[in-house]
Structure formats: structure tokens, C-alpha cells
Structure 1
Amino acid sequence: MLRVHFTAEDLFDVTFAAEPLPLVELALALVAWQRTDERAVFGPWRGRVGREMPGRVRPLLDLLRPDGDNPQFVEPYARSLEEGLAAVRDHAPLLTPDGLRHAAARAPGSASWLRALWGRDREAWDQLDSAIRSAYEVLIAPHWPRIRQSYRADVAWRTRLLAAHGIKACLASTHPEAGWSGTAFEVGRPPDYDVRLGGRGLILMPSSFWTGRPLLAAHPDGAHVLLYPALTPLPLTAPDRAADGALDALLGRTRAAVLQSLLQRRTTSELARDLGISLPSVSEHTRTLRAAGLITTERDGKAVLHAATGLGVDLLHSGA
């Protein structure tokens, strides 16, 4: 059973991660490929991945096993592939003998490559780098807009659930066997994991690939991360609504993209960066969307934050 103990302070410090992270999603995609559950949803996807995956990805399967209890260094909290690869390399001096024993006991192949990796052998680390890049090109890069779509839709729905029913209902919705015992969040699935947040808070991170019970991991800033299956797994996501012709015709292509981006709260600067448009253009589009009741805008210090309203979310999901 997973059991997460909250203090009163922790209950007020539950947030959503700002965006999906490419190497976290990559690790979970490789895990999903090896799992056998959710055949109706992931079965055809697994077949396609098996045909497309190059052989040089094979070393990753010694590290990333189907239960998800994997070494965290290979799935860093980085916002880009290159940043993530640098973070993976930086962990080389930190790998412990206990970590090697754990990885070797679970690996399907010979432990020799793992021993070389833990021994900081340059060729072994080059193999890991090549495997991550190759897997990323197959599993993540072509599907990143759909991964973000799945992520943002889940966050938008659970944000509304949180506002309407509170944090306990929001967390209980992450798994059919999730619930609460006092101030402890529990999921009745193995393996056993008992964690006290101790006032450090919790970051929620949906994944379009993960199909098992919620996973708990440490965040570099000291908080914990709860990673759980997104409402819409990747194989069921449609093309990005911002590219939908009808919505483009209704709002205009750029304005539709702004609304799509605001399924998750964003600053004016973040919108300009993500969509590749100027700050004045963002201001013009957000002003129009706000006047139509599709987004809200509020100031947080020097930042201006925008988010889709319930009406905006409904419009995006209506197939308009």
C-alpha cells in the first residue's frame, strides 16, 4: 500500500507541476511499452512502438522496469532533452552500490553493462546517452503536442475538482483504489511505501503514459511529486485542439492556440515564449478572450497570470 501522511500545512501546499517533463514522460513511455495492462488502450500502441524502436534503446530496459520503481537519475526533472541529458550525466558520481544491486536484481539482461555504468565507464555512459536520444525521437518528439494536451486537460479538470470539492476529492480521483484515512492518503496496491511529507508539500504530475497506481518521488527542491495516470492516455488523445479547423475559424489560429495553452495557468511572458509571438500580441489576444468570458486574468506581484474559465475549457472540449 502507498500511504502518504499529510500535515495541516501540507494540505494547503498541494500544487500541479507547470508542465510535463520530457525525460520523465520518456521513462514512463518505456515502462508502458513493457507493461501488459490496459490492452484495449495501449495494445496497438505497444505494437507500433515495438516495430519502430531501434535496437540501441535496449540498455534502457535494464534500468526502466514495468513496475515503475526505477532509478530516478534516468528520469530527471528537466524541461528539455539536452538539459535532461546533462542532468543524467551529472548523477554519475552519485550512484551508490545499493542502487547498483537494486538495478541489477531487476534487469532482464546481464548486469555487466550496469556495473560499467556505475563504474563511470565512458563507453557505457555514451551508450546510455544514445539510448535516451533514440527513444526520445520515437516516443516523445513526434507526440509532444498530444502529451501536453493530455497533461493540460487533466490539470484543468482536477483544478476544477479541487475548487469544487477540495484536496481530498482531488487526490482520491487519481486511482480507483485511492482514499483517505484521517490525514493519510492511501492507495491499496503494492509495493508498500509509507512517507511523511513533513511540511514539504506535494506536487501533482499527471502522465499520459503511466497506467499503474500513483508513484511518489522526491523533487530536487525538497518537496515530493505524486505521479499518476492522466485522464486521457496518449493513445486516446486527438490532435491538438488549437490546430482544429473549426476552432481556428471561430477564434483565429493564434487566439485558439492561446486558449489551448491556458488550460494551465500561464503568464504573459510564458505565452509569448511557448507560442513564439510578441508580448503585445499576447496582450491583445488575452484581452479579447477575457472579454468573451473564456479566460480570467489576475496579477501576482509583477506577473500577470491567465487561465481558461470553465466556459473556455468547455469550448475547447466541445469539438466546436
Structure 2
Amino acid sequence: MIRIEVGPADVAASRFAVSPSFELALLVRTLILSPPGSAIGRRFAAGLARLRGDPVLRTLAYLHGPTAGASFSVPPPAGMAQTIEADLAVIRSVPDAVVAGELDAIRALRRPSPDVAAVLDDPAFTDVLADGMARAWHALLAPDWARVRAVLERDVRFRAERLSEVGWSGALVGMHRDLAWTGEAITVARRAGSTESLGGRGLLLVPSVFLGQGLAIVTEAPWQPTIVYPGRGAGLVFEEAGTPTDPLAPLLGRTRAGLLLALAAPSSTTQLAALTGASVGATGDHLRVLLDAGLVARARLGRSVVYRRTPLGDALAGS
């Protein structure tokens, strides 16, 4: 069991962030390991076709195994506005000695195939890796990144509110079955035993769409102590967001019914537009109709206006 000891200053020092490079690495590894004809393979078939034969794709999957990964290829994110361009710039600047040390540790765990070994041994490895990740990003993830970000932002909004209002017990509820709050520490079940004291550094919390049911704990520099966890509503990314049931669509109209279902988690107009693929203006118009009908309510949270379902909206949506 891992035990993360938390002090009074650690709530204020904790923060949330998104990691484009982490999401890309998880997606690529899933695609490489998925059986032919899998649902995720079909979903990304066009992008994979553009990358066919690219050894960097297999190299990125090799770098992120089930028990150990190359931290230099997934830099610590600075915040919610992290971009893949910022991640790739950091990867290109990692010292050779750091890369060599991590690669030696990974090679000791699993042997690379000949084409992957050729990439790893390239004198310009970090540039080759970053260039390949950029190709993979544009072929696979860039078209859906707005929807991915919308889901991750909704998760962060929910958990940040719970952390500030209730504390760690509120933020951790439903985050992952292996996580628990003891009153003075966060525990992670079914892992090798260790203890990490935050000591005022706070915890970095990173939601993920492609982690599945997994959980990643990072305590090694340059990362601050970090939990990467499955984001709430990750399944919305590759579904038609809020596809309405037959009885609801004729009553409200297909678009408004879809918005009502998507509001299972409080969201801004921009986030809902990203999830549904509609324009921000059209989304706002439909939200005003739902607001006037008493099906949704809105409130200002920081610089954003957030919509959430009312009890009547929940009843109509079948929640």
C-alpha cells in the first residue's frame, strides 16, 4: 500500500492539470496493444493508416509499460492550459544523461524490438521522439482534443469544488476504487508499500480520458507527488454526446435533449459546444430555452458561467 501523508497546508498547495503528452502516450499504447478490429482501433483507423509503419509509434508504446514508464516523455504539466507544443519543447530539452538512465531501467524490464531499438539508439533520439509524437498527435488526438479537454475540465471543476468545500474526502470520492482517505493520509491499495509525505508541496491531480480503470502514482522528480486518475464522463469523448432517448427528443428537440443529457455534470457553454460539436452561439441559444423552462440553472464560477440540471431537469433526463 502507498501512503501519501497530507498536512494542513497541502489542500491550498494542491492543483489540477491536464497532460496532452500523457494522454497521447496512453492512447498510443492502447492502440498498439488492442486486438485487430477492436472498437478503439476502428475509431482511430484513419489516423492509424496515416501512421502505418512509423516506428516512433511503437517506440512510444514501448516507453510506457504496465509497471514503469519513461517520465522524460511525459513532462509534468503546468496547469489546465498545458499544450502538446509545450510538452514537446520540454522533451527536446531533456539532458542526455537523464534519458539514458531511464532507458537503461526500461530495457532491464523489457527488450525492445529491432525497429524500436533503432529509434532508441538514434543520437538525436529526443528530437526523433518529439517529431514522431507530433505526427501521432495530429493524426490521432488533435481532431478530438477539444472534446477531451471539455471532459477533463468538467471533472476538474467537480473535484475542485469538492476539495474546497469538503476537503480530501470529497475530492477523492469516486475517483478510483483503490484510493481512500484515512483522515490524515491518502492510501493507494494493491501496490508496493511506500510512504510519501507532501510536506506542504501539495498534490498534483491529473484526470485522464485514456487511462481506463487504471491509476498512476508519480512521486519521482521532476514531478511533484501526482495522482493520474480516470476522468468522470470519459466515455462522452467518443460518443455522440448526449444522444437523446426517443421519448425525450420529440419533447424538447434533439439538440436540447442532447444538451440536457450532457449536463449530467455541470458545464460551461464552451464545454458543451465542444462535446456536442455545435457552435457556441447555437449552444447558448438552446441553453436559454432550457433555462426558461426551468430544466437547467446557471451560476457564475470564477470567470465562467456554469449550467447544471435542476431537479426537474434530472427527472426529465431520467437521472
Give the shorter-chain TM-score range. 0.5 to 0.7
Deviation at 1:297, TM superposition (A): 1.3
Name 2:53's counterpart in structure 1: 55
Name 2:207's counterpart in structure 1: 206
Match of 1:297 among 279, 282, 299: 299
Using structure 2 for the length normalisation, give the TM-score: 0.66
Name 2:22's counterpart in structure 1: 24
Using structure 1 for the length normalisation, give the TM-score: 0.66
Query: Percent sequence identity over matched residues?
Result: 23
Are 1:105 and 2:105 counterparts?
Answer: yes
1:291-312, CA deviations, whole angstroms, 9 ceiling, x for partnerless residues?
4251321264xx3432424649
Given that residues 202 and 224 in structure 1 are in contact (C-alpha distance below 8 angstroms), is that contact kept between their aligned partners in structure 2? yes
The residue type paired with residue 66 of structure 2 is P
Instruction: Tell me how far apart the structure 2 counterparts of residues 22 and 99 of structure 1 sit (CA, whole Å).
Output: 20
Deviation at 1:71, TM superposition (A): 1.4
Instruction: Tell me how far apart the structure 2 counterparts of residues 295 and 187 of structure 1 sit (CA, whole Å).
Output: 37
Deviation at 1:233, TM superposition (A): 5.4
Match of 1:44 among 38, 59, 67: 38
Name 1:5's counterpart in structure 2: 5
The residue type paired with residue 8 of structure 2 is A
Given that residues 92 and 130 in structure 2 are in contact (C-alpha distance below 8 angstroms), is that contact kept between their aligned partners in structure 1? no
Instruction: Tell me how far apart the structure 2 counterparts of residues 4 and 150 of structure 1 sit (CA, whole Å).
Output: 27
Counterparts in 2 of 1:145 and 1:183: CA distance versus 1, 3 Å: same
Given that residues 104 and 111 in structure 1 are in contact (C-alpha distance below 8 angstroms), is that contact kept between their aligned partners in structure 2? no
Counterparts in 2 of 1:9 and 1:259: CA distance versus 1, 3 Å: farther
> Which residues of 2 match residues 124-273 of structure 1 at below 5 A?
124-137=125-138, 139-141=140-142, 143-144=144-145, 147=148, 151=152, 167-168=168-169, 170-171=171-172, 173-192=174-193, 194-210=195-211, 211-216=213-218, 224-231=225-232, 234=235, 238-241=239-242, 250=252, 253=255, 260=262, 263-266=265-268
Q: Which consecutive unaligned segments of at least 5 residues does structure 1 have?
A: none
Instruction: Tell me how far apart the structure 2 counterparts of residues 64 and 23 of structure 1 sit (CA, whole Å).
Output: 12
Q: Which consecutive unaligned segments of at least 5 residues does structure 2 have?
A: none
Deviation at 1:182, TM superposition (A): 3.8
The residue type paired with residue 8 of structure 1 is P
Instruction: Tell me how far apart the structure 1 counterparts of residues 192 and 179 of structure 2 sit (CA, whole Å).
Output: 14
Instruction: Tell me how far apart the structure 2 counterparts of residues 309 and 62 of structure 1 sit (CA, whole Å).
Output: 43
1:61-118, CA deviations, whole angstroms, 9 ceiling, x for partnerless residues?
342223353314435638799x4235323443333524422223314326563354xx
Instruction: Tell me how far apart the structure 1 counterparts of residues 273 and 291 of structure 2 sit (CA, whole Å).
Output: 17
- Greater Cα offset, 183-192 or 310-319: 310-319
Q: Counterpart of 1:59 in 2: which secondary structure?
A: helix
Deviation at 1:157, TM superposition (A): 6.9
Counterparts in 2 of 1:272 and 1:143: CA distance versus 1, 3 Å: closer
- Greater Cα offset, 101-110 or 141-150: 141-150
Deviation at 1:185, TM superposition (A): 0.3
Counterparts in 2 of 1:97 and 1:224: CA distance versus 1, 3 Å: same
Given that residues 64 and 70 in structure 1 are in contact (C-alpha distance below 8 angstroms), is that contact kept between their aligned partners in structure 2? yes
Q: Counterpart of 1:7 in 2: which secondary structure?
A: coil
Deviation at 1:132, TM superposition (A): 1.5
The residue type paired with residue 240 of structure 2 is P
Instruction: Tell me how far apart the structure 2 counterparts of residues 165 and 43 of structure 1 sit (CA, whole Å).
Output: 44
1:164-218, CA deviations, whole angstroms, 9 ceiling, x for partnerless residues?
9753254253332322344110112335554333334334333222132343368
1:142-182, CA deviations, whole angstroms, 9 ceiling, x for partnerless residues?
55466457546755776797799753254253332322344
Q: Counterpart of 1:8 in 2: which secondary structure?
A: coil
1:230-288, CA deviations, whole angstroms, 9 ceiling, x for partnerless residues?
3555599632127989559726748965984893554x78889996545xx77766555
